[in-house]
Amino acid sequence: MAEWNDWQRANTISGATGFLGGLFGDSGQPYQDAMNQYEKYGKMGADTQQPWMQAGQQAIPQYQQWLQQQQNPSQFINNQMNQYQQSPWAQFQMKQGQNAANNAASASGLVGSTPYMQASQDYARNISSQDMNQWLQNVLGVNTQYGQGQQNLMTGGQNASNALTSLYGKMGDQMGEQAYNKSAAGQNDWWNMLGGAAQIGAMFL
């Protein structure tokens, strides 16, 4: 009889432990803690990539506008040349050349002659042509750099977007796995409580 009471007492304690553990325990908390950490560091990674992605997004319409301007090369060149102004250096060269030509023509008595006028015009045309060509090359160079800069921003934004997609995919897998584990642990608590209650009840039957 004493042995029976010891067995009954042990089973009652075991049943009570299982019942209370199932009632007040939270086997899913470690998985929730893991989910919180995944979310925390996932957000840190996303915050790091977001500025790059946003810069790339903002560059898209500007790059498209830049491309549209190149659709008609002749019109584009003409639009640029309409803004041309002779540089101070070209003006200086023309003035110096004109003075030199005047001095030479005066010394030789050719001032006002056709050869003198032709030479002066050719010199001025040559200086002007060189200046215009250099100006256009500078403009086209800056324009190309602008387009490349916008393209680089989009490339950086695309890379950041890919990184975010990968990050969110991994987070989704991890969070889903931990959510499943948390739910399974909660079910175990429930069954432990029921099992403990059944074990206690059986002792009084």
- Tell whether the model's pLDDT for residue 132 goes beyond 60: yes
- As a whole-number percent, the residues of the chain with pLDDT over 70 amount to 59
pTM over cut 0.95: no
* 39: Cβ contacts below 8 Å, ≥ 6 apart: 171, 175
Matching residue, tokens 């074990």 = 199
Total structural domains within the chain: 1
- Confirm if 179 and 12 have CB atoms less than 8 A apart: no
Encode burial over 24-40: b for 16+ CB neighbours within 10 A, e otherwise: ebebbeebeebbeebee
pLDDT band at residue 148 using 50, 70 and 90 as cut-offs: very high
pLDDT band at residue 187 using 50, 70 and 90 as cut-offs: low
Q: What is the pLDDT of residues 16-31, one digit of tens each?
A: 444 444 444 455 566 6
CA separation for the pair 107, 121 (Å, rounded): 19
Q: How many CB atoms lie within 10 A of CB 132?
A: 15
Domain span holding position 66? 2-203
Q: Residue 32: what residue type?
A: Q
